[in-house]
Every structure is written in C-alpha cells, then in structure tokens.
Structure 1
Amino acid sequence: MHCKSPCTKICVLDPVLGLCMDCWRTALEIRMWGRADGPQKHAVLVALPKRRPGKILRGQ
C-alpha cells in the first residue's frame, strides 16, 4: 500500500494542539512518516479529517 504524504511543505506546529496547522499531523507522525509502513500511514491519513480546526473547536 502506497500512501502519499499529506505534507504541503508549510510546517507550522500549533503550540497548544501540537499539530501542524497545514497537514494536521503531530510532530511524531511527521518525523516517522518516512519509516512508517503502509497501514501506519493509512491510519494517520484516516485520522486527519477529524483534526481539522472546526472539528476540534466544536469537540466533534
């Protein structure tokens, strides 16, 4: 399974949420992406939509 990185080369970590404000990955997820296998990458990609600002702020 090949999973394309969600990175857009605009890495700015929110100090409160601990997430990149562009791709919504954690610093650990960003660092580990190159070493992660397909299922690990897929799990991160599935989690990203739930981390969008509107979802976080509304507690959804």
Structure 2
Amino acid sequence: MHENIRKIRKVVDKNTFETIKRLYKTKNTNELSELTNLSKDCIRKTIVKIKDNSTNCSYSDI
C-alpha cells in the first residue's frame, strides 16, 4: 500500500525558518506539526530538506 505523497514547499520568514530548523533537530514533532501544518505521522516518515539562502528560507516535504 502506497500513500499519496504530496510535495510541499513553503517559503517562510527567517524567524519561522530558524524555529523549524531547531524543532526538526530536536525532533519536537508536536510543535513542528503545528507550525508546518504537516501531520506528526508525516513528519516522522518524511525527510525534510531545509534550505537557507539570504533571500529565501524554505522547507519542503519530499
């Protein structure tokens, strides 16, 4: 059984980006799921690429 996987890419402000990065590193799935609107189950099963350059901060669910 394969679930439909949807790609999500969202550009966020710097503060939100830093928070997401910190929560992801500490594996805080409760807060992370609230902030990103991804289910906890989804966060556990997906790899999150976190990108930071001076003009764009984004995270994507791949």
Output the TM-score relative to the length of structure 1: 0.28
Greater strand share, 1 or 2?
Answer: 2
Greater helix share, 1 or 2?
Answer: 1
Higher normalized contact order (CA 8 Å, seq sep 6+, divided by chain length): 2
